[in-house]
A and B are shown apart, each in its own frame.
Chain A
Amino acid sequence: MGEKKNRWIWLAIGAFLLLIYPFILTLPFPNHLMIMIFLYASMGLAWNMIGGYAGQISLGHAVYFGAGAYTSTLMLMKLGVTPWIGMIVGGFISIGLAFIIGYPCFKLAGHYFAIATIAIGEIVQQWMLNWDWAGAAVGLTLPILPESFLNLEFHTSKMPYYYIAFGIFTLTILATYGIDRSKLGYYFKAIKGDLEGARSLGINVGRYKFYALALSAFFTSICGSFYAQYVLFIDPDSVFPLMLSIIVCLVATLGGVGTVWGPVIGAFILIPISEFTRIQFGGGGKGTDLIIYGFLIMVISIYQPFGVIGITKRFKKKESE
């Protein structure tokens, strides 16, 4: 009981620190860093719903991210609709995409599923590169609108973006927490642990895999819409790349898949490393940050295949012994 109380206290302290953070560190970079951490943590959490809980390794999550980014942007540019509505519509379009992609792909297992998601990601990126109405390879530059919450554009300070990103992050973590504690989470874990066993217990495997992917796609898509409003420029190479799908998967894996806090830990470790290396070595197209990334991915998957959470669990076991 005492441990549970402690956890709530730590959570409250953490939330409080994150809420006052932009008042203490007011420079653009620390705010940008935290926005990126929130964004990737949310995407890692979203990926974790299908990849971690339900055990279906998707390497094509950029499709949903890009769908969110393009839907809200195109609705804003062509119809003049506020990005908030575009964000929700994008989320539902991504759920539709999840159905179209998931329905055939869920019949595949292991490598075949993973490679199918890569192939779909590549097909979508190529189509977007050739789709003139949606800007094709040139991309879309968002119109500069007056600063307001409704327009979801802020030019003088990053602080509003910070709180919106924090909001998205909070929403995603609450959803993950809900899944983790509900029947849905147990069904997902059953599918991951023993597909045939889950089926024989009467779980409709296809339906629950789709639920996991739909939830995952929805939250990933919201991140995409937010990203478009934050950067104010999107093109197929920035919102549909395979690298994005890999990084999202990595964030979850680094922290620990199938846990609530794993992807959050992953994002808090990985994103600062990548942002700092980009500042230190970046520019000139040398890609030094990506060398370090690749190296980290290798080392982590060789020596810590269960993620950082795996380390803490190991310590806990030793204590209880």
Chain B
Amino acid sequence: MYNSEIILQTVISGLLMGCIYALVAVGLCLIWGLMEIVNFAHGEMLMLGMYTSFWMFTLYHIDPMLSLPLCLVILFLIGVGTYFIIIKKILKAPFLAQILATFGLGIFLRYLAQFLWTPNFRMIKNPALAGRITLGGIFIGVPELTASIITILSFLLLYWFINKTEIGTALLATSEDREAASLMGINSDKMFALGWGIGAACLGVAGALMSNFYYIFPEVGFPFALIAYVAVALGGFGSIPGSFVAGIIIGLVEFLAGLFIAPSLKYTFVFIIYLLVVFIRPQGLWGRY
């Protein structure tokens, strides 16, 4: 029933989707590691990234690959804005208020998008990247392939930025010990804002890449956000390589479960991974804690 070609095809599709999951997860991971706040509006920010790309294409005929830097900048600003308008005020609030504040933002953004742009499913018609290539009987979509290549580049860039540049090291220092970092003259407020900016900017990139091959609708982000929580827990709190590997694993599990068990239950297995990870190895694969 399952020949090796179908399995190989599924594995490759899983790997390609896993790259997108990783890119969505790393933004969440960065914020989570930096300040122990989970962004429950993460999926909705991804949705905004996708819509930005969609409207640039529909209104101004700018291809998603060209509007990608713009998506990045817009989402960066949204992230920084979120920090100053909402997050900064709840840093010392009770845990429950911290959860609900970003949840509220998520619900607000999702239904605002539905109000403004209708719940219809949209798609970018005829983007520059289209079609597929065939490699020994295996089909690989060009937009998906490009997306995963750009994802890998983004990860390398992010890793370099965090570990090798002065600002990145300051960011790392703040996430390890806020008090000590501020004694060293690092302004934690600026670092948090930067963290939110970069976290959201990853979603801008992911959104632009996905708009090439994925449906765009107001509720699109939510499953991706759930997967990102799973990926962050799996990869380990605040670990960038961890979220990359976790994203790939989740992509593979989702597609293989869809092939071997039932497509409608594929997310169930993703959530079961989360539960297994937090019960058996709560610090994740690369966790610091």
Contact = CB atoms under 8 A, between A and B. Distances in A.
Interface string B159-196: 00000000000000000000000000000000000000
A294 B105 contact: yes
A302 B90 CA distance: 6
Contacts of B112: 291, 294
Contacts of B114: 285-287
A120 B119 CA distance: 27
A295 B104 contact: yes
Nearest to A119: B271
Secondary structure type dominating chain B contacts = helix
Contact of B109 (A111, A120, A294): A294
Interface in A157-199: none
Contacts of B99: 57, 59, 111, 114
Interface stretch (B135-143, B200-208, B225-233, B243-251): B225-233
Interface in A107-133: 107-108, 110-112, 114-116, 118-120, 122-123, 126-127, 129-130
A126 B38 contact: no
Contacts of A233: none
Nearest to A114: B99
Nearest to B267: A126
B268 to A, nearest CB: 5
A154 interface: no
A21 B30 CA distance: 53
A232 interface: no
Interface stretch (A33-41, A85-93, A210-218, A245-253): A245-253
B278 A127 contact: no
A71 B5 CA distance: 44
Contacts of A301: 90, 93, 96-98, 100-101, 104
Contact of B96 (A57, A107, A290, A303): A57
B264 A108 contact: no
Nearest to A107: B279
Contact of B282 (A112, A129, A299): A112
Contacts, number: 134
B31 to A, nearest CB: 12
A305 B279 contact: no
Secondary structure type dominating chain A contacts = helix
B111 interface: yes
B157 interface: no
Given A108-B282, A302-B101, A297 B107 contact: yes
B213 interface: no
Interface residues of B, number: 44
A257 interface: yes
B272 interface: yes
B274 interface: yes
Interface string B229-240: 110010000000
Contacts of B274: 115-116, 119
B60 interface: no
B2 interface: no
B278 A116 contact: yes
A115 to B, nearest CB: 5
B84 interface: no
B95 to A, nearest CB: 6
A11 interface: no
A150 to B, nearest CB: 38
B83 to A, nearest CB: 13
B104 A297 contact: yes
Contacts of B103: 246, 297
Nearest to B88: A302
Interface in A19-57: 51, 57
Contacts of B279: 104, 107-108
A293 interface: yes
A288 interface: yes
Interface string B110-140: 1110110001000000000000000000000
Nearest to A137: B264
A291 B111 contact: yes
B104 to A, nearest CB: 3
A130 B262 contact: yes
Contacts of A298: 86, 101, 104-105, 108
B275 A250 contact: no
Given A57-B95, A119-B226, A298-B108, A291 B115 contact: yes
Contacts of B226: 118-119, 122
Given A122-B271, A123-B268, A298-B101, A115 B107 contact: no
Interface in B45-86: 86
B27 interface: no
B147 to A, nearest CB: 25
B270 to A, nearest CB: 9
Interface centre among A122, A293, A296, A300 (most CB of B within 10 A): A122
B89 interface: yes
Given A119-B271, A253-B96, A288 B111 contact: yes
Counting from the closest, the 9 A-B pairs by CB-CB distance are A297-B104, A294-B108, A294-B107, A305-B97, A298-B104, A287-B111, A119-B271, A301-B97, A301-B101
7 contacts: A123-B268, A123-B271, A243-B107, A246-B107, A290-B107, A293-B111, A302-B93
Given A115-B233, A291-B107, A301-B93, 15 more contacts: A57-B99, A104-B279, A111-B32, A112-B233, A287-B111, A288-B111, A290-B107, A293-B111, A294-B109, A298-B101, A301-B100, A301-B101, A302-B86, A302-B101, A305-B97
